[in-house]
Structure 1
Amino acid sequence: MDSALVVGGTRFIGRHLVSELLDHDYDVTIFNRGNHDDPFADDDRVDRHEGDRTNDSALEAAAEAVDPDAVFDCVAYYPKDVRAATEIFADCEAYVYVSSGDAYGREEIPKREGETPLRPCSTEQATDDSGATYGNRKAEGDRAVFAAADRGVNAMAVRPCIVYGPYDYTERLDFWIDRVRNYDRVIVPGDGTNVWHRAYVADVASALRVVAERGDPGEAYNVGDRRLVTLDEMVELIADALDRVTPRATENESGERSEPGATDVEVVHAGPRELGAGALSPDDYVLYRDYPHVLSTAKLAALGWESTPLDEAMEATVEEHVESDRDGSEHDPGREAEERVLGILDTV
C-alpha cells in the first residue's frame, strides 16, 4: 500500500497516525471539516480534502478524488457512518475503523477479541449523542465492520483503551501531571492498586498501520500498553519523567513553594470515607475505575506490533504537557476539598 486517507487527522490519534504514515513513506491525504488547527499545514507531503464525514456525498467525493489504498476512520461515532464508509471504500485494500475498548459489554479480566461480548446497541442508542451510549455505538460500528467483511470488504477494527500522549485534548492525564508537578502531596483514591488499561497514542497509530498492512478482514484488534501500571505506578512514572524533563517546584499545604526538585512527591491514599471529609468520592478522580479494565493485546502483538517502553512514552507525554497550556483543570475535584481530606488523614 502506498496511499492513505485519514478521516480526521489533525487533533490527537489522527495527528499521530498521519506522522506514523509519513514515517513509513505513505502518500497521505487528510479528510475533515477544517475546524481545527492543522499541524501539517506547512508540510507539502500531506494533501487535504475538506468535507464532513457524516455527509455521504462528501465522503464519496473524497473517495473518487483520492482513490486511497488504505482508509483510516478516526472520527466515526455513529454506526450509520461506518456502514456508509465500508460501502464507499469497499474497493480499498484496507478500511480500518477506530473503535474503543468501551465497546465490550462484560467486565472480565482481560477482555479478548471474539470472546468478550460486545455491548448491545438499540435503534435509539445508535443515534444518541451522549457519552452514555458511546460504547454501544462503537460496538455497533464493529458489527458494521464484520458485516462488511462478510461482503468481501477488507474492513478491520482497532479497539484502543484509554489513550494518552502528546496533544491529548481530553486532558485526562494532564490533570495528574499538573498535580505531580505542582504539589508535594498527591491524593490517589483507594489503595493505589487500581488498574485502568491505557494506550500510548503513538502505539495506537502504529497499531492502525500494522492492522491495515497485516490484519485480517472482519477482525478486531485491541491496543494498549503491553505493560500495565497501577494508579500509584502511573504517578511514579510521571514524577520520574518530570525529573528528566524539568525540575519540579512544589507547593505544600501552607502554600509555600519549594525549590525545584527539592521535594519528592508523596502519594496519599484516601478511601471513600476519608474523601467524604472533602465531599469527594473516588469517582471524582479521572482515570480511576473501581473494577480493573484490561485488554488482551496478544492478537495485535502476533502481527508484529510492539509498544513503546512506558518511561519513554511518559517522558514524551510530560515534555509536551510542560510546553502546552493544558492543566487538566476540568477534571480537578478541587484542591481545597483535598486539603480538608489531607487534614483529616494527618490527624489519624
Structure 2
Amino acid sequence: MTRHALFVGGTRFIGRRAVREFRDAGYDVTVFHRGEHDSPFADDEAVDHVSGDRTDDGDLADAAALDPDVVVDLVAYQPREVRTATRVFDDIDAYVYVSSGAAYGEEAVPKREGETELEPCSDEQATDDSGATYGARKAEGDRAVFAAADEGVNAMSVRPCVVYGPHDYTRRFDYWVQRVANHDRVLVPGDGTNLWHRVSVENVARALRVVAEDGDPGEAYNVGDWTLQTLRETVETVADALDTDVEVVTAGSRELAAGGLERSDFPLYRDPPHVLDTNKLRSLGWEPQAPSEAVAETVEATPERDADDAQEGPDREAEERVLGVLETM
C-alpha cells in the first residue's frame, strides 16, 4: 500500500527538495500551503495541493482529514504551532518537525542531541517573530515534540545547521560563488579555518525521509554534512566546481579594519565554531551527499554568478582596500 506524506509548507527550498525525495521513494504527496509562493509542482499531477493557513486550526484539521501517514512540518516557527500540530496529527505514523541547530543554547563542540543544552524560551519570546528569538522558539518547539511523544504521539525532530543548495532564497552561499567567479583573489576573514557546520539541502531531504521512516518518537536528530569544510576549503571547492584557480587571502581584524570591515560581515563566518554531531542520524541508515557534489550543484544553480555584487556580504571596494593593505605588509 502506498504511503501518503503531507507537507506543511513545501513550495520553497527545503520543501521542494524534500517533496521530490518522498516522491522518488514512492510516496503519495500533498503540499499544504497558503499559496503565497508559486509552487514548483503546479504542473506535477503526482503532487496534490491543499490551500490553507497552518495557523488556522480549521484549515489544519481539514488537512488532517486527508489521512496522511507522515507529516513533515517545515513552517512551524512558534511553539504553539507545534503543540497544535501534534494534537491534530496525534495518530499518524510520524510527525517530523523541522527544528534548527540554532536551538542549542550551549557553545559545545560538537553539539549533541540530548546532551547539549537547548536555548530557554520565555513566554514573550515564544510569540515573537524576530531573528533574535529564532533559536529559542525552535528549542521550545522541540520541547513540544518531546511532550507530545510522552503522550503517545509519534513525533520527532530534525535539527539542520545552515542549509545551502539550489533554490536557497537566503542566498547566503551566493557571495562566495560570485567572488570566486569574478576575482582572482578572494578575501577570507580570520585564518581560513573557521567552522560553521553546513548541510546540503539534499542531505536534509534524505534526513527527513529517514527519520520519518525509522526515527524514534520523542527523539531529535541533528543533520549536517558528514564531512565539514572550513571557510577556506569551501572557497577552494567552489573554485573546483567553476574549474578555476583563486588565491585565498586571509585577513585578521586589524587588516579588515582598513576596509571598515569585521569578520562577521562575511556570510558563513561564525565565531565560535558551530558543529553538530550527526552520528545519531547516520545510525538510522542516512547516507549523506558529499560536499563536493553538493557545492557543485549549488554553484550550477547560483543566479547571476557573473555579477560583481552579491546579495549579502561586503562591497568589493571595501575588500580591495584590505587587499591593498595586505600587499604592502
Q: TM-score range by the shorter chain?
A: over 0.9
After superposition, residues 104-115 of structure 1 pair within 5 angstroms as 104-115=104-115
Query: Taking structure 1 as reference, are residues 59 and 208 closer, same or farther at Cα in structure 2, changes over 3 Å only?
Result: same
| Dislocated runs of 4+, deviation >2 Å | 322-330
Could you tell me which amino acid in structure 1 is paired with residue 207 of structure 2?
A
C-alpha deviation, 1:291, in angstroms: 0.8
Conserved 8 A contact 1:86-1:153: yes
Could you tell me which amino acid in structure 1 is paired with residue 9 of structure 2?
G
Instruction: Name the CA distance, whole Å, in 2 between partners of 1:155 and 1:346.
Output: 56
Is 2:191 the partner of 1:210?
Answer: no
Instruction: Name the CA distance, whole Å, in 2 between partners of 1:111 and 1:292.
Output: 10
Instruction: Name the CA distance, whole Å, in 2 between partners of 1:230 and 1:194.
Output: 5
Which residue pairs with 1:258 in the alignment?
none
Out of 282, 288, 291, the residue aligned to residue 301 of structure 1 is 282
Which residue pairs with 2:166 in the alignment?
166
Conserved 8 A contact 1:7-1:53: yes
Query: Taking structure 1 as reference, are residues 79 and 208 closer, same or farther at Cα in structure 2, changes over 3 Å only?
Result: same
After superposition, residues 236-251 of structure 1 pair within 5 angstroms as 236-243=236-243
Conserved 8 A contact 2:178-2:305: no
TM-score, with normalisation over the residues of structure 1?
0.92
Conserved 8 A contact 1:99-1:160: yes
- CA deviations on 1:96-121 (whole Å, 9 max, x unpaired) are 00000000010011100000010000
After superposition, residues 138-287 of structure 1 pair within 5 angstroms as 138-243=138-243, 261=244, 264-287=245-268
Could you tell me which amino acid in structure 2 is paired with residue 279 of structure 1?
G
Specify every segment of 5 or more residues in structure 1 that has no aligned partner in the other structure, as ranges.
244-260
Is 2:34 the partner of 1:53?
Answer: no
C-alpha deviation, 1:242, in angstroms: 1.2
Q: What secondary structure sits across from 2:311 in the alignment?
A: helix
C-alpha deviation, 1:282, in angstroms: 0.2
Give the fraction of aligned pairs with identical amino acids, expressed as a percent. 66
Query: Taking structure 1 as reference, are residues 56 and 328 closer, same or farther at Cα in structure 2, changes over 3 Å only?
Result: farther
Which residue pairs with 1:247 in the alignment?
none
Which residue pairs with 1:15 in the alignment?
16
After superposition, residues 59-70 of structure 1 pair within 5 angstroms as 59-64=60-65, 66-70=66-70
Q: What secondary structure sits across from 1:95 in the alignment?
A: strand
Instruction: Name the CA distance, whole Å, in 2 between partners of 1:321 and 1:302.
Output: 33
- CA deviations on 1:25-58 (whole Å, 9 max, x unpaired) are 1000000001111111111000000011111111
Instruction: Name the CA distance, whole Å, in 1 between partners of 2:200 and 2:45.
Output: 27
Could you tell me which amino acid in structure 1 is paired with residue 131 of structure 2?
G
Instruction: Name the CA distance, whole Å, in 1 between partners of 2:292 and 2:78.
Output: 35
Could you tell me which amino acid in structure 2 is paired with residue 131 of structure 1?
G
Could you tell me which amino acid in structure 2 is paired with residue 295 of structure 1?
L
Which residue pairs with 1:254 in the alignment?
none
Instruction: Name the CA distance, whole Å, in 2 between partners of 1:269 and 1:325.
Output: 23
Q: What secondary structure sits across from 1:237 in the alignment?
A: helix
Conserved 8 A contact 2:182-2:306: no
C-alpha deviation, 1:170, in angstroms: 0.3
Could you tell me which amino acid in structure 2 is paired with residue 184 of structure 1?
D
Instruction: Name the CA distance, whole Å, in 2 between partners of 1:265 and 1:149.
Output: 51
Which residue pairs with 1:30 in the alignment?
31
RMSD over aligned CA atoms reads 1.4
Instruction: Name the CA distance, whole Å, in 2 between partners of 1:328 and 1:277.
Output: 20
Q: How many residues align?
A: 328
Could you tell me which amino acid in structure 2 is paired with residue 3 of structure 1?
H
Query: Taking structure 1 as reference, are residues 61 and 328 closer, same or farther at Cα in structure 2, changes over 3 Å only?
Result: farther
Could you tell me which amino acid in structure 2 is paired with residue 7 of structure 1?
V
Query: Taking structure 1 as reference, are residues 324 and 38 closer, same or farther at Cα in structure 2, changes over 3 Å only?
Result: farther
TM-score, with normalisation over the residues of structure 2?
0.97
Conserved 8 A contact 1:171-1:328: no
C-alpha deviation, 1:330, in angstroms: 3.0
Instruction: Name the CA distance, whole Å, in 2 between partners of 1:325 and 1:55.
Output: 43
Q: What secondary structure sits across from 2:166 in the alignment?
A: coil
Instruction: Name the CA distance, whole Å, in 1 between partners of 2:111 and 2:307.
Output: 32
Instruction: Name the CA distance, whole Å, in 2 between partners of 1:322 and 1:311.
Output: 19
- CA deviations on 1:162-181 (whole Å, 9 max, x unpaired) are 00011000000011111111
